[in-house]
Amino acid sequence: MLGLLRKSPTPRTAPLELAHEVAGRSLPLRIVENDRAKRLTLRIDAGGQGLRVTVPPGMRMAEIDSFLDRHRGWLEARLAKLPDRPMLRPDVKIPIRGVPHLIVHEPTRGTIETATGDDGPLLIVHGDRRFLTRRIADYLKREAKRDIGALVEKHAANAGRRAKSIRFKDTTSRWGSCSSAGNLSFSWRIMMAPPAVIDYLVAHEVAHLKEMNHGPKFWKLCRELCPDTDRCRAWLKRNGSALQAIGFG
Q: Dump pLDDT digits (tens) for 153-205.
A: 999 999 999 999 999 998 766 899 999 999 999 999 999 999 999 999 999 99
User: For position 100, what pLDDT does the model report?
Assistant: 95
User: For position 5, what pLDDT does the model report?
Assistant: 36
> Which residues make Cβ contacts (< 8 Å) with residue 238, sequence separation at least 6?
none
In angstroms, the CA 238 to CA 234 distance is 6
> Which residues make Cβ contacts (< 8 Å) with residue 177, sequence separation at least 6?
184, 185, 205
User: For position 85, what pLDDT does the model report?
Assistant: 61
User: For position 86, what pLDDT does the model report?
Assistant: 67
User: For position 83, what pLDDT does the model report?
Assistant: 61
Specify the range with the lowest mean pLDDT, choosing from 18-27, 217-226, 239-248.
18-27
Rounded average pLDDT over 95-115: 94
User: For position 84, what pLDDT does the model report?
Assistant: 60
Cα atoms in the Cβ-side hemisphere of radius 13 Å centred on 238: 8
User: For position 14, what pLDDT does the model report?
Assistant: 59
Distance of CA 136 to the CA centre of its chain: 18
Phi, psi of 166 (to 5 degrees): -130, 125
User: For position 7, what pLDDT does the model report?
Assistant: 34
* Percent of residues, the chain, with pLDDT higher than 90: 65
Sketch the domain layout of the chain as residue ranges.
2-81, 93-245
Is the pLDDT reported for residue 6 higher than 70? no
Is the pLDDT reported for residue 150 higher than 70? yes
93-245: CATH topology is Zincin-like (3.30.2010)
For residues 71, 72, 78 and 83, what is the CA-based torsion angle, rounded to 10 degrees?
A: 150
Specify the range with the lowest mean pLDDT, choosing from 3-17, 100-114, 179-193, 232-246.
3-17
User: For position 4, what pLDDT does the model report?
Assistant: 31
Band (pLDDT 50/70/90 cuts) for residue 25 is: confident
